[in-house]
Structure formats: C-alpha cells, structure tokens
Amino acid sequence: MKTEDVIIINNNEIASEIWEMEFLAPKISSNYKGAGQFIQIQLDPGWGNPLRRPMSIASCRDSKISIIYKIFGQGTKILSQKISGDVLNVLGPLGNSFQYKKNNLNILVGGGVGLAPIINLWKELDELRDNSYLIIGAKTKNEHIHSHNPDEHIYLTTDDGSMGLPGTVMEALKVVYENVKSSEVFACGPEPMLKQIQSFVIKNNIPAQLSVESYMGCGVGICQGCIISRRNYKNKNHSYHKKYSLVCVDGPIYSAGDVIFD
Amino acid sequence: MKTEDVIIINNNEIASEIWEMEFLAPKISSNYKGAGQFIQIQLDPGWGNPLRRPMSIASCRDSKISIIYKIFGQGTKILSQKISGDVLNVLGPLGNSFQYKKNNLNILVGGGVGLAPIINLWKELDELRDNSYLIIGAKTKNEHIHSHNPDEHIYLTTDDGSMGLPGTVMEALKVVYENVKSSEVFACGPEPMLKQIQSFVIKNNIPAQLSVESYMGCGVGICQGCIISRRNYKNKNHSYHKKYSLVCVDGPIYSAGDVIFD
Amino acid sequence: MDLFIQQEMLSLIDMSIKIGKVLFKNPIITASGTFGYGTEVSSLVNVSKFGGIVTKSITLNPREGNPPPRIVETPSGMLNSIGLANIGVDQYISKKIPLYSTIGTNIIMNIAGTTVNEYIEIIKKVESVSSNIVGYEINISCPNVKRGGMEFGIDCDLTEKLTESLRKITERLLIVKLSPNVTNIASIAQSAEKAGADAVSAINTVVGMSIDIHKQKSKVYTKLSGLSGPAIRPIGIASVHKIFQAIDIPIIGIGGITCGNDVLEYILAGASAVQVGTSNYRDPGIALSMIEEIKLYGEKYIISSISDIVGVVSSNTK
Amino acid sequence: MDLFIQQEMLSLIDMSIKIGKVLFKNPIITASGTFGYGTEVSSLVNVSKFGGIVTKSITLNPREGNPPPRIVETPSGMLNSIGLANIGVDQYISKKIPLYSTIGTNIIMNIAGTTVNEYIEIIKKVESVSSNIVGYEINISCPNVKRGGMEFGIDCDLTEKLTESLRKITERLLIVKLSPNVTNIASIAQSAEKAGADAVSAINTVVGMSIDIHKQKSKVYTKLSGLSGPAIRPIGIASVHKIFQAIDIPIIGIGGITCGNDVLEYILAGASAVQVGTSNYRDPGIALSMIEEIKLYGEKYIISSISDIVGVVSSNTK
Ligand SMILES: Cc1cc2nc3c(=O)[nH]c(=O)nc-3n(C[C@H](O)[C@H](O)[C@H](O)COP(=O)(O)OP(=O)(O)OC[C@H]3O[C@@H](n4cnc5c(N)ncnc54)[C@H](O)[C@@H]3O)c2cc1C
Ligand SMILES: Cc1cc2nc3c(=O)[nH]c(=O)nc-3n(C[C@H](O)[C@H](O)[C@H](O)COP(=O)(O)OP(=O)(O)OC[C@H]3O[C@@H](n4cnc5c(N)ncnc54)[C@H](O)[C@@H]3O)c2cc1C
Ligand SMILES: Cc1cc2nc3c(=O)[nH]c(=O)nc-3n(C[C@H](O)[C@H](O)[C@H](O)COP(=O)(O)O)c2cc1C
Ligand SMILES: Cc1cc2nc3c(=O)[nH]c(=O)nc-3n(C[C@H](O)[C@H](O)[C@H](O)COP(=O)(O)O)c2cc1C
Ligand code: FES
Ligand code: FES
C-alpha cells in the first residue's frame, strides 16, 4: 500500500449517474493482489473534506487502474468534475480480495455500484468463463452498462423490467443456481441485496463471499472506524476484538456466514 | 449589488504569479459605478473556505468584467486553476469609486496587485490622457505587464532596476510631481506604499485618494469585520462609529487625510 | 382568503412556529451580528420572507468595538472579534426602531451588558417607546469583550438572576443566548428556564485563536476570538440535543447552518427555530433558499407541520 | 560523530525538545487513537522519524468499543465514537510492548479508566514488566464512553487526585490529556501540574453530533461523539494559549494539525510539542513532511532551537 499521485486518463459517464475513471498508477498497480481490493481517493488538497473516499478497483492492467462510481454526495460530485490530465492523490491497494476455486462454478452478483469489484472479478475469471455466471441488477436499463446475454452467461435484471429479467438479482440467482452444482457465490452491492444473498446461500448451504461497505476513516487499520459486526471470530492481525471486524484491513471480502448486518 | 453566476471567458498568467481573469457578468456590470469598486468571489460551492475573496474590478465593458490577481494562498490558487467556461458566483459591484476632476492633473500610482483599480481608472481617464500620469511599481520586470514609456506618461519602477526607473514608486512620484501643478494623486497598493504616499501628499498638501485593503467578511456592511481606523469622521450611513470606517461600504477609496494606518 | 388557500396548496407543510406568544412565519431567523440592523441589505434581499431578524448586540452606550484586524477565515469557519461595535441603545431607538415598522418580519433585539443594571436600563429604555420589536435576545455569551457578558454565560446563578430581573420589566419575548464554552450548557439553560425565559438560543461562538507564524502574532487583534461557521455545526447540534433533554421551553438552534439540510438537523435535534449567522456573509439571501428546501422535505416525508419533527432524534432513546 | 555533524549542517534548527527527563528528537508526535499501536503502518511510513507515538487508549480489560457507524465526516472535520475499542492492558503488555523495543521512537502509552483504581492497576501492570515506554498519557477526557474518563476531565479535584495517585507509582512521564468541553481548561491544567504531572496535552475531541435527516437518526451510533480535524484547530490553539498562561510545565498541543504551519501556530501559542491526529487518516506519513517544513521555517527566521519560540505569541502582552 502506497500513496501515489495518479494522472487521470479518462473520466466518463457510462450510464445514468454512473461514471468510470481510469488513471495511471504504476506504484499502486504493482502491489495489486486481485479483484475486491479498493483504493482511498483524496478529494482535493484543501481540508474541507478531510477523509478520503473509498472506491473498489474495477480493473488493473498495464499500470492503469479504473474505478466505477456513482454520484452520491459532494465527494463523488467533485470526482466527476475531474478531467483527463488532472492529478489525484490515491492510497492503495487496500483490503483483501476474492478467492475463487478453479473447479467451482462461480456465480458473480453485482448490484448498483457494487458493480466495480464484480466486473473486475469477471475479467479475472476470463479463462474460466464456461464455469462462471455474471448477474447484474439495476433499477432501470439506463443504469446498465452491459447487455443481457444468457448465452454468454450474463444475466441482467431491472426492477422495472425495462431490460433483462424483471425483478432483483435474487430472481436471476435462483434461476442460475437451479442449473448448477458445487457453486460459489461472489457478491457486492447495497446492504439489502447482500442480506438477501446471505440468507439464500446459508439456506442452500452454498459458500459465498460478500464484499461489504462501511464508512471509512483511514483505510489502513489505524482508526477503528470501519467496523462491521461479525460471527466466527478468527484471530486476524488487526481486528483484535471478537465482535467486530475492521473492513479496511480484514475485509472488504467476507465469507457470507461471518458477516452480521445490523 | 447582486450575486451572479458569471462565466469565465479568459484566465491567464499575464506576469510572474499575476493572473488576469475575464468573465461575463451582465447583472453586475449593469450596476457598475466606476474604477475602485470591487467584487466578492465565492471560491467553490463547498464550505471549506466560507468567505468570499475581494478583488478590485480591473475593467468593465460590454457586460464583461476583469480582475487582476496575485496568488497569495489557497483561494487565489483555486482561482488560477479555473478555465474558460467555468462558473463562479460573484457578489458586486461593491464599495465606492475614485472621483476625479477634469481640470486637474491626475497622477495614478499602482503597486503590486494594487494595479487593478489603477489600470481601470487609467482606462476611464482615456480622454484626459494628456493630463494623466501612470506610475506602476513592482519588485522586478517579470511582474510588469506594461512598458515604461514616459512619452505616453507611463512610468514603471522596479526595486531591482531591471525595468523603468530603479527604486519604488515614490521616486517616480517625486519626479512627476515636480513637473506639475494642481494635481491629485490616486493610489492603490501595499500598505507600506500607501503610507509613504500619504506622508508625501500631506507634506506637499496635494489632494489624494487611496484605495485601501482590509480583511473582508460580507462585503456589504453587515459583519463589521473590515474596519480601518480613520480621522475626520463624517457621518456615513454604515460606519456608525467615529473611530473606524467600514471599508466595504464607505471605502475602499478614502481621502488620504482620513485614513490611519495602524 | 384566496391568498391563504393558494399558500396552503403551494406548501403542504405548515412552516410557522410559535415562541412564547409570538408567531414566526417560518423557523429561519438571522443571527445577531451577522445581519447588521436588518436594513443594510434590503435592496439585495427580501427580508420580509425571513421568520425573523435578530439585530446586532446593543449596549447602553455606543461602542466602537475592537481594533482591526477583526476577522479571519479558518477551515470551514471564521474567527471574529468585533467587540460589540454598536450605536448604543439611544441611537437604536431613534434611528433603527422606526425603520422596523414596515420591515414585514419579526425583529428581535439582541442586548449585551456588563452588569445586570445595564441590561435592565437598556430594556427599560426600549420598553418606554412604542416599537414593533417582538422580543429581546440576551447575549450573555460574547467571548470578545474583556469585561463583558461572558461572566453571566458561564454561571448558572448569575444567569438566573439576570433573567429574573429582566422578566420583571418586559412582557415581550425573552430569549437567553447561551455560550458553548461551558462544561454544562444544559444547566445554564435550566437556570434561564427557571427564571422565566421564553426560550434559549444556542450557540454563540466558540473561543478560538489563529496565529500568523510570519508576523508571530495573533491574526485578529484580540488574541482570543469567536469561532463560527460550518466547522462548529456539530457542536451546535450536540448542544441543542443536550439542552432539549433538560428543558421544556423552545430552543433556537445556531451554529454553522448553510442549507435546509442543516436547519433540519437542528430541528430534529430539538430546535423549534434556528438562526443563520456566518452563511449570510457568503450570501445575504442564503436563508431564503433554506425555506424552500425545508418545504420540499416536508412534502417528501409528508410532514404537516414543522413543529411535528422538533426533537424526534433527541427524544428517541436509541 | 560524523553523522552528528552532518545532521547539524542539514538542519540549522535544533528540533529536539525535552519533556520531563525525556528527550524527543522532534516535537511531532502522533495522537492517541489515530495511529493504532504504532506498528500497523510501519510498511508505509518510517515511524522512527516521529518525535514519538502515543498509542491507542488502553483500559484494564479489553473493550470491543461502540457499534457501527462509528465515524462521519463533517465540514473540515470528523466525528468519532470508537468507544475505546482496545485489547486491554494484558494483551498490550504481551503483544505490543515487545514490538516497541526496535521501533526507534518514543512510545507514550495512553491509558483510560472509569475509576482511579483502574488507572492505577493499568500502570502497575506495565511498571511490573520491562519496556521502553517513555511515559503515560492519561486520558481523562474521552467523550464517547458512557461511564468513562469524562468525569475526571471536567473536575479539578478529581483530576488532582487521579494525577497524584499515579505520580506515586511511576517515575515515567505522566502527561494529563485535557478535555476542551469545560468552562476553564486552564484550571484543570493547574490541578494536573499541582499533582505532579510532567506535562499536559490538549485538546481531546470536542463534543459534537450530526444527524441523517432522511433516516432521522444520528449519523454515528452513539448520539454524541467527538469532533476532531482542522475544524477544531482554532479551539486547540486557544486552549494552549490559555493553559500557557496558567502553568509552567510543558504543553503538548493537539487539534487539527495538517502541516508545518499549524505545528508552528501551536508552538507560538505555547506548546512545546504537538500531536497529529485526524490528518494521519488522510496520509499516515503526513507528520514527516511537517518536520521538513519546520526546518525551513527555522532556517528562514534563523531560529537556533525550536524551544526558543515556544509561547512567544502568548507571552506578548499585546
Ligand atoms: C470498500 C468500499 C468500496 C467502495 N466502492 C465503491 C465503488 O466502487 N463505487 C462507488 O460508487 N462507491 C463505492 N463505495 C462507496 C463510496 O465510498 C461512497 O459512495 C462515497 O464515499 C460517497 O462520497 P460522497 O462525498 O459523494 O458522499 P457523501 O455526501 O460524503 O456521503 C454520501 C454517503 O456516502 C457514504 N460515505 C461518505 N464518505 C464515506 C467514506 N469515507 N467511507 C465510506 N462511505 C462513505 C456515506 O454512507 C454517506 O451516507 C465504496 C465504499 C467502500 C467502503
Ligand atoms: C477591496 C479589496 C480589493 C482587492 N483587490 C485585489 C486585486 O485586485 N488583486 C489581488 O490580487 N488582490 C486583491 N485583494 C486582496 C485579495 O483579496 C487577497 O489577496 C485574497 O483574498 C487572498 O486570498 P487567498 O485565499 O489566496 O489567501 P489566504 O491564504 O486566505 O490569505 C492570504 C492573505 O490574503 C488576505 N485575505 C484572505 N482572505 C481575505 C478576505 N476575505 N478579505 C481580505 N483579505 C483577505 C489576508 O490578508 C491573508 O493574509 C483585494 C482586497 C480587498 C479588500
Ligand atoms: C462577525 C460576527 C459578529 C457577531 N456578533 C454578535 C453579536 O453582536 N451578538 C451576539 O449575540 N452574537 C454575535 N455573533 C454570534 C452569532 O450570532 C452566532 O451565534 C454565531 O456566529 C454562530 O452561528 P454561525 O455559525 O451561523 O455564524 C456574531 C458572529 C459573527 C460571525
Ligand atoms: C477516531 C479517533 C479515535 C481517537 N481515540 C482516542 C483515544 O483512544 N484516546 C485518546 O486519548 N484520544 C483519542 N482520540 C483523540 C485524538 O487523540 C486527538 O486528541 C483529537 O482527535 C484531536 O486531534 P486531531 O484534530 O488532530 O484529530 C481519537 C480521535 C479520533 C479521531
Ligand atoms: S478505516 Fe480506519 S481502521 Fe478501517
Ligand atoms: S466586510 Fe462585512 S462589514 Fe465590511
């Protein structure tokens, strides 16, 4: 993990209110471990917003890193106003990454801006495409950046039925799961979605890895700000209390059974 | 006085660390009264810097206003990073303006960034050029945006003698003053310069108008933050105490005899 | 009558609030010292739309205030040490009060003194003339005057005695403005309530300091000065939250309010109304846009009256 | 010897300072709770360059801390309510103290308790093992625990008693960390001095609150939490200024420090050293650049030792 002044190459709106930014980050990418890791972006040199903003890595290749982000508040607004050539100070790569098994069928589920690490994992699984399924949910078709394509194992859902399967990712997950055996689920998205996936995988006894979000201070384990509640305490280096885990260093990827959503 | 979202047309470094910005401001320019007035610029929509930054109007024509500014701290740094097409929120025009007499010889003295209102007045005196003298001082030639041209009544000075007359504006002022009668001095610049001019005009019994600076809060007379000490109290609308005057509404232009520099 | 119906339809939420017997058309008031005497910027802003205006602190005698520099910006805030510069009560009565007869909003007169008697004398003078001032805000908390109100603001007994004395001489609104520079702001609020105040307002500025490292001196003339602006908003909200649990009279929330969201935070924490201070310096009309933002919030969450949500976050046990 | 001369030439200003009998290589220390146990980010930052590290508050028993959410950003600041999550003194002794033998900087152990006896027990345990900890910072001022140190921090007598008891059982540095949430921080500092503290540090976080208006609940789990970051810097500097006039032992300034300029403001106000907190979250190496900035200042104004400028602004009469 390093802080690095990265140079923006691209910053474009790729779907309604959803942006993709790509930048040159040789130092950070040389330490990159895999899909699921994130970075902490400093908004500007001033101190109006003292905290960095956490963003999952959506791709990492040839010294370049990309993120996919949605405009929530002031910070993401500021990011969307950056143009190519601008410089950002970034800390990373941070956190752990998804761990997949070659022999499993891997079902990837992304919802909302939970997209980024899931797309990243999808790219990582390139050679295992035959064994992999991608499910992406959004409210409506304007928010989708892929095409619904079950032949290629890509299933899109929309709440309003305007694209792909109508309903949430749960509908698609059930459909896909019925056709496969020995599978593992990888998911990232809003908490309500993760909760539903958690019940589903526990009920069906499928292993699953969830990427969770939490309000971050430092991103490196020194503020104790980013905790989530957990089950199944295993002694980790940083989360030195049984009940909670530090998302920034022991996460953001957790085994579905270990996470308690409050 | 109005707040207006103005659109930047140009923003360029015109001399070492000195920038000129021009923007479209139809509302503000329609209320403009003359050289000496200023505007208050909001740095950005966030609240990291709550206070606007005061800047003298350097020109006002055809709905366009320009300013000339020097990078001091974070605020002026932010201004220098704006590009054409960007929008700024501006309050103005504020304060009073220089009042000149047609029959006088007018000697204009600008030092450092005190340049802006003096250049503006110089433009205003266009038809009276024969009776007007412009003196501009800087540390070194890189900071000058004009040419030394005594034939055109333009006298530049540099502390290091790298352009125009060596020394401060005082040297030039003495030279010019020796050649003229019934004159009035108009000056804007750093406090040490204004102090010297004040002693000079008082000693020689010449009328003079000084544009003074002060740390500004509101710019419209409601915070009482921007006072300077004064002599010769005349009942003004806003400065309702004898000892002090509100620079934003009763200034920034004062008769040299009225100002006390602390 | 027609007009009344029309307004009803435009704004589903009832924005009016009551403090003591006084009705405010909306809960957004400008804070003392940050809107002059209320008349300076009337060409720029339609002040009649405000819920009210608190005028600059008035003392018995005119005060020139502190020497410059008086203000400096800090991260998301500013320090000020104006030193209660004001025209004094006599000129206030002769020059300002007449202007308020047509101003179209509630004027609250803020007063400051160094002894109980000074406060009494000021109010007696104002009470002896006819005016449409709706009440007094008692500044017992200004940190920028050497012998000033501050001594009252940090002491429960003094606050009680002062409030009691003033309660006897006016039927108008009596609002005690509290200092955050104390260990227990809620207990000072209780003293004010006990002595008959109609409301308390909180907070005044927080004591702060900033140094010019090159000149090696304080950036404002007096070394200590008062911190205001968004930086102190969390302190103001916490203060209102604590006071809300201690008293039953209305609280007017102050500190770092910049938008409708901020107003609502204060209201949810227990404020019946709010005052906008430093933000006026960025834009003297800023309070007007807050009114609109609150109306939208009211529509979105189907709130029929702003009073319905006062303190809902602070009264929850969790 | 060669090395010493070389350093002398590079940095004309003597950056070292002394607190009690302990020498610090420079006045820049990381603040408790904002740099973990000092070892978490050693791969990212050369911690041996710091003047010192104050470790996270340690309590007698391990504490899991408060439920999430624990932090939220505010204008130029942040609120936190970690709730003293820590591994407890026994694990601190067995797992952390051994790591400090090679850390290359002064380790100050911050401790927190709810009773005098708890503080005593913690220190006794640490004193009974061998360690290179240079001293203890006594947290009597954490606002985020329901029954916590806060009661000490607001009361002079309790502060005095606590300090006295701890002074008896250790010869190591004893630094009392003060709360800004009091009427008179200088008098608490005087109590600490009287009872034998080697230094005081100020300030801990300021009580604050922030509300999510859509969920209508506090943004951090506990309603009240602690405000830190640049927003509170003017409050920290004012506190140091006031304390400087009241006591003779060294003051460690804390609150909103982001750069060398900010460090110097604290030093000019009366701090002999400073602690950097929230800024570490933006960049765990941020304190290192401050050291360089101060050296440049020292060169520019020809200051031979950083101690020469401690309090020069606060001791001026004007
Ligand atoms: C590990 C991790 C990975 C993430 N990856 C992505 C991603 O790939 N794409 C994406 O769009 N978003 C991602 N997020 C969420 C993203 O960090 C927030 O949307 C962003 O910080 C909002 O900032 P803002 O200033 O626009 O909003 P604000 O106005 O500051 O706040 C809006 C909301 O954003 C959240 N937020 C604000 N600051 C932080 C912070 N420092 N840490 C965590 N949450 C915060 C809060 O919950 C808040 O309610 C991720 C978050 C985490 C923890
Ligand atoms: C009436 C008036 C007209 C001015 N005209 C010009 C001009 O034409 N060109 C120009 O370059 N400068 C002008 N200035 C000065 C200019 O306002 C400051 O240089 C600018 O505000 C600095 O902002 P900053 O954020 O870069 O610096 P900061 O880092 O904020 O501060 C640097 C210095 O700038 C001054 N300053 C900061 N904020 C303010 C404020 N709100 N009001 C007054 N001073 C402040 C302070 O003295 C401070 O020491 C004028 C000032 C006044 C009062
Ligand atoms: C420049 C300035 C002058 C002030 N003058 C007064 C005053 O005369 N009387 C008073 O009670 N409060 C005064 N205040 C305090 C404000 O009324 C308000 O309590 C404080 O600024 C916090 O609110 P804010 O953060 O919205 O500014 C003043 C504040 C500022 C910034
Ligand atoms: C997340 C967080 C945790 C903190 N934990 C502690 C603590 O355990 N003990 C303590 O004495 N102070 C603690 N503090 C207070 C800091 O040490 C410091 O006094 C305060 O944050 C002000 O400094 P700053 O503005 O530089 O952050 C904590 C601060 C933060 C932001
Ligand atoms: S974000 Fe600071 S410990 Fe995780
Ligand atoms: S700047 Fe506010 S009164 Fe002049």
Q: pLDDT tens digit string along A62-78? A: 999 999 999 999 999 99
Number of CB pairs, chain B paired with chain C, less than 8 A apart = 108
Domain boundaries, chain A: 2-94, 105-260
To the nearest whole percent, how much of chain C has pLDDT over 70?
Answer: 92
**Residue C268 — φ and ψ, nearest 5°?**
-65, -30
Residue from B31, B44, B47, B248 to probe the interface with C (highest C Cβ count within 10 Å): B47
pLDDT of residue B182: 67
d(CA D221, CA D64): 14
Residue B162 CB neighbours (<10 A) = 14
Residue B238 pLDDT: 59
CA pair distance D207, C242, nearest whole angstrom: 11
Q: Ligand 2: which residue has its CA nearest to atom 31?
A: B73
pLDDT tens digit string along D246-288? 999 999 999 999 999 999 999 999 999 999 999 999 999 999 9
> What is chain D's mean pLDDT, rounded?
92
Give the strand pairing for A208-211 and A183-188.
parallel
Q: Phi first, then psi: what are they for D3, rounded to 5°?
A: -60, -40
Residue from D142, D252, D264, D306 carrying the catalytic annotation: D142
**The residue to which tokens 């505007």 are assigned:** B39
Q: How many alpha carbons lie under 13 Å from residue D129 in its C-beta half-sphere?
A: 18
Whether residue D112 has pLDDT greater than 90: yes
Domain extent for C128: 2-315
Q: Is the pLDDT of residue B218 over 50?
A: yes
- Phi/psi region, residue D286 (left: phi>0; alpha: psi -120 to 50; beta: rest), is alpha
pLDDT of residue B240: 62
pLDDT tens, position by position, D176-216: 999 999 999 999 999 999 999 999 999 999 999 999 999 99
Give A47's contacts in chain B (Cβ within 8 Å): 48
- Give the ranges where chain A is alpha helix by DSSP (H): 26-30, 74-80, 115-124, 169-178, 191-204, 247-250
pLDDT tens-digit map of D149-169: 556 778 888 899 999 999 999
Contact between D159 and D188 (Cβ < 8 Å):
yes
**pTM surpassing 0.90?**
yes
Note the pLDDT of residue C234.
98
Angstrom distance (rounded) from CA B216 to CA B167: 31
Q: Would the CB atoms of D216 and C312 count as touching at under 8 Å? A: yes
User: Residue C6's pLDDT band (boundaries 50, 70, 90)?
Assistant: very low
Query: Quick check: A258 and A228 in contact, CB under 8 A?
Result: no
Instruction: Judge whether C314 is closer than 8 Å to chain D, CB to CB.
Output: yes
CA B94 to CA B221: how far, in whole Å?
10
**What is the rounded distance in angstroms from the CA atom of residue A248 to the CA atom of residue C278?**
37
Residue C186's alpha-carbon distances to C155, C179, C229, C264, D182, in angstroms, are: 12, 11, 22, 21, 13
Which ligand has an atom closest to residue C80 CA?
A: 3
Q: Is the CB of A65 under 6 A from ligand 5?
A: no
Is domain B105-260 given the CATH code 3.40.50.80 in the classification?
yes
**CA torsion, ordered C98, C100, C106, C107, to nearest 10 deg:** -60
Pocket test for ligand 1, best of A13, A17, A53, A250 (most atoms within 8 A of CB): A53
Would the CB atoms of D216 and C182 count as touching at under 8 Å? no
Pull the structure tokens for residue D97: 């103290």
What average pLDDT does chain A have?
Answer: 91
State the Cα–Cα distance between residues C13 and C17, nearest whole angstrom.
12
Which of A60-74, B210-224, D72-86, D130-144 is predicted least confidently? D130-144
Ligand showing the shortest atom-to-Cα distance for residue D208: 4
Higher pLDDT, C113 or C2: C113
Chain A CB contacts of B74 under 8 Å are 46
**CA B23/CA B83 separation, integer angstroms:** 11
Minimal-distance CA residue to ligand 2 atom 21: B53
Residue type, A193: M
Q: pLDDT tens across D205-221, in order?
A: 999 999 999 999 999 99
Nearest-angstrom CA–CA distance, D126 and D103 = 18
Q: Are B193 and B150 in contact (CB under 8 A)?
A: no
DSSP assignment of D202-215, as one string? Answer: E--PEEE--EETTT
| Mean pLDDT rounded to a whole number for chain C | 92
Residue C3: pLDDT above 50?
Answer: no
Residues 6+ apart with CB under 8 A from C93: C125, C126, C129, C131
Q: Which of A26, A83, A82 shows the shortest CA–CA distance to A53? A: A82
pLDDT per residue as tens digits for the range C213-264: 999 999 999 999 999 999 999 999 999 999 999 999 999 999 999 999 999 9
Which architecture characterizes domain A2-94 according to CATH?
Beta Barrel (2.40)
pLDDT value of position D1: 37
**Ligand 3 binding pocket includes C232 (Cβ within 6 Å):** yes
Best mutation site among D74, D76, D78, D261 for testing chain B: the one with the most B CBs within 10 Å? D76
Taking the C-alpha atoms of residue D230 and residue C51, their distance in angstroms, rounded to an integer, is: 33
D317 pLDDT more than 60: no
Share of chain A above pLDDT 70, in %: 96
Angle at Cα A95 formed by Cα A90 and Cα A101, nearest 5°? 130
| Residue partners of A163: CB distance under 8 A and separation at least 6 | A138, A140, A141, A144, A148, A156
Whether pLDDT at D3 is above 60: no
Compute the distance between CA of residue D248 and CA of residue D245 in angstroms, rounded to an integer: 8
Q: What share of chain A is helix, strand, coil (3-state, %, to 5)?
A: 25, 35, 40
Residue type for position C61 = N
d(CA D21, CA D174): 11
Q: Are strands A64-70 and B64-70 parallel, antiparallel or unpaired?
A: unpaired
Chains meeting D at 3+ CB pairs closer than 8 A?
Answer: A, B, C
Q: What would the 3-class secondary structure string for chain C be?
A: CHHHHHHHHHCCCECCEEECCEEECCCEEECCCCCCCCCCCCCCCCHHHCCEEECCCECCCCECCCCCCCEEEECCEEEECCCCCECHHHHHHHHHHHHHHHCCCEEEEEECCCCHHHHHHHHHHHHCCCCCEEEEEEECCCCCCCCCCHHHHCCHHHHHHHHHHHHHHCCCEEEEECCCCCCCHHHHHHHHHHCCCCEEEECCCEEECCEECCCCEECCCCCCEEEECHHHHHHHHHHHHHHHCCCCCCEEEECCCCCHHHHHHHHHHCCCEEEECCHHHHCCCHHHHHHHHHHHHHHHCCCCEHHHHCCHHHHCCC
* Chain segment A87-99, per-residue pLDDT in tens: 999 999 999 999 9
Question: Half-sphere exposure of residue D99, counting CA atoms within 13 Å on the CB side?
Answer: 15
Q: Is C71's Cβ below 8 Å from some Cβ in D?
A: no
Burial class of C45 by CB neighbour count within 10 A (0 to 12, 13 to 18, 19+): buried
The bound ligand whose nearest atom lies closest to the alpha carbon of B227 is 6
Distance from C-alpha of D228 to C-alpha of D216, rounded to nearest angstrom: 23
Confidence (pLDDT) at A231: 85
Residue C66 CA: distances (Å) to CA of B18, B229, C216, C280: 34, 11, 20, 22
C-alpha–C-alpha distance, residues A146 and B197, integer Å: 71
pLDDT tops 50 at residue C2: no
At D4 the pLDDT is: 45
**pLDDT tens by residue, C156-207:** 888 999 999 999 999 999 999 999 999 999 999 999 999 999 999 999 999 9
DSSP code at position B37: B
Find the distance separating the first CA and the last CA of chain A, reported in whole Å. Answer: 30
Q: From the list C76, C209, C216, which residue is nearest D75 (CB)?
A: C76
Q: What DSSP element (H or E) covers A187?
A: strand A183-188
- Residue of D171 and B17 predicted with greater confidence: D171
Q: How confident is the model at residue B179 (pLDDT cuts 50, 70, 90)?
A: confident
Query: Which residues, at least 6 apart from D47, have a Cβ–Cβ distance to it below 8 Å?
Result: D38, D39, D41, D53, D103, D104, D105
Of ligand 1's listed atoms, the one at least distance from the Cα of A18 is: 11
Distance CA D234, CA C279 (A): 19
Q: What pLDDT is attached to residue D318?
A: 43
Residues D317/D277, Cβ–Cβ less than 8 Å = no
Q: List CB contacts of B105: < 8 A, sequence separation 6 or more.
A: B131, B132, B133, B180, B181, B182, B183, B184
pLDDT of residue C316: 66
Q: Tokens 């500097």 sit at which residue?
A: D237
C156 given a catalytic annotation: no
Lowest mean pLDDT among A55-59, C144-148, C242-246, D267-271: C144-148
pLDDT tens digits for range B18-62: 999 999 999 999 999 999 999 999 998 899 999 999 999 999 999
Residue in chain D closest to C236 (alpha carbons) equals D208
- Considering only residues 133 to 162 of chain B, which have any Cβ-Cβ distance to chain C shorter than 8 Å? none
Helix axes D260-269, D233-244, angle to 10 degrees: 30
Which among B52, B229, B238 has CB closest to C282? Answer: B52
Q: List subunits contacting chain A, requiring 3 or more Cβ pairs under 8 Å.
A: B, C, D
Residue B206, Ramachandran bin (φ over 0: left; ψ between -120 and 50: alpha; else beta)? beta
What is residue D116's three-state secondary structure? helix
Confidence of residue B17 (pLDDT cuts 50, 70, 90): confident
Tell me the pLDDT band of B104, cut-offs 50, 70 and 90.
confident
Helix (H) or strand (E) holding D174: strand D173-177
Residue D148 has pLDDT above 60, yes or no: no
pLDDT digits (tens, 9 = 90+) for A90-125: 999 999 999 998 878 899 999 987 889 999 999 998
Local structure of residue A217 (DSSP, 8 states): S
pLDDT on residue C4: 45
Q: Which amino acid is present at B134?
A: L
Ligand 2 geometric centre to CA of B52 (Å): 9
> Residue with the nearest Cα to atom 31 of ligand 1?
A73
pLDDT of C7 strictly over 60: no
Instruction: Give the pLDDT confidence of A190-244 residue by residue, as tens digits.
Output: 999 999 999 999 999 999 999 999 999 999 999 999 999 988 777 555 556 778 9
pLDDT band at residue A56, thresholds of 50, 70 and 90? very high
CATH number for C119 = 3.20.20.70
Residue A71, judged by CB atoms within 10 A of its CB (0-12, 13-18, 19+), counts as middle
Q: Tell me if A262 and D44 make a contact (CB, 8 A cut-off).
A: no
Query: Which phi and psi (to 5°) does residue A127 adopt?
Result: -70, -15
Cα A216 from Cα A211, distance rounded (Å): 14
Total tally of structural domains belonging to chain D:
1
- Inter-chain CB proximity B225 and C80 less than 8 Å: yes
CB B217 within 8 A of CB B54: no
CB distance from A73 to chain C under 8 Å?
Answer: no
Instruction: Write out pLDDT tens, residues C85-132.
Output: 999 999 999 999 999 999 999 999 999 998 899 999 999 999 999 999
Given a cut of 80, is residue C145 above it in pLDDT? no
pLDDT at D136: 98
